[in-house]
Structure 1
Amino acid sequence: MPVKRLPWRKFTPAQIALIERLSAAGGNVLVDELQYGEQLALNELRQLKLAEMRLGAYSKLEAVLTAAGAALRDKGFTTDRVVLHVTPSQAELLRFLDDGCPSEESIGSEPNSMSGQMKDVCRRMCLRGWAERHGGRDGLRWVRLTPAGHEVLAAVNEWDQAIREAGAIERHQLH
């Protein structure tokens, strides 16, 4: 049974890093100075009303941490809100990259063994901080799960198990 969208209530490493960067810079950074992954994290934080963009000096666009974003940082990035959803294609990639080893010992997978759609999902997962590229066998660029990616995978597996059990109860097949 395919996984349904899993509501995820933890911030991604990329979101946390951007909030930390904005805090360290006094609450605002020029959008032009943000890397692509940080811009994606900024958009996600804007949807959650934790960051916003405004015109700064010389009409330059700035990324600004809101009061809610600063309060979240002070609380240790804990929230009851859904931060994002883990999609079925992301769950598939997490399982594909899982080789059963801890992150630091993991070899991961070679990008050439992925389909085009999976490569696109992988790129997004790397930007979120759930996967990372590294030099693997023969000096090639491989992709493996980060500790945060392993945490998401464990939650996805638990979610799938709960869905299977609920379906079995519904069909009166669970003992």
Structure 2
Amino acid sequence: MSESAANPKPTEMATDISNPFVLHPSDQPGNILVSKTLQGDNYSTWSRAMRISLSAKNKLGLIDGTIDPPAETNKQFALWQRCNNMVLVWILNSVHEDIANSVYYYTSAADVWADLRDRFSQGNDSCVIVEHRQEQKSISVYYTKLKALWDELTSYHEPPTCTYGGLKKINE
């Protein structure tokens, strides 16, 4: 592989939309990626909405650990840092002010994501089950709420995964 293929020029990368370090002209720090901010008790739905938005922008790897920061001496470090900072500000803009203040000084979007996941992803199965009442709601409204609760409850019990194939038989 030639050196130019291994280290593409910034102008070549700018046209490669599959490159996660490329920012679209519409990607701005003030963009709001989700309609409801993380309050703490809505982590499951907030996280899902953020993951969808970041995936659509090809930035999911910056929070899930699949894109590691290049060495500071690598030419791509500045591009990674720019994208990481954009994802950081998108996350900060999508959480309650008190939560934002608690993660404001992280330098990595992946670290912020891990902190929020560790703090807020602990599902409360009993609260989900207790909220199961029709009261005076129509059947369609009740079903919609019930389905959302089922989906949330299911997300708390995702099957274990293993990259080495050791759990393949269990999952089958």
Q: Would the TM-score normalized by the shorter structure come out above 0.5?
A: no
Structure (1 or 2) with the larger CA radius of gyration:
2
Which structure is richer in relative contact order (CA contacts within 8 A, separation 6 or more)?
1
TM-score of the aligned structures, taking structure 2 as reference length: 0.29
Normalized per residue, the structure richer in strand is 1
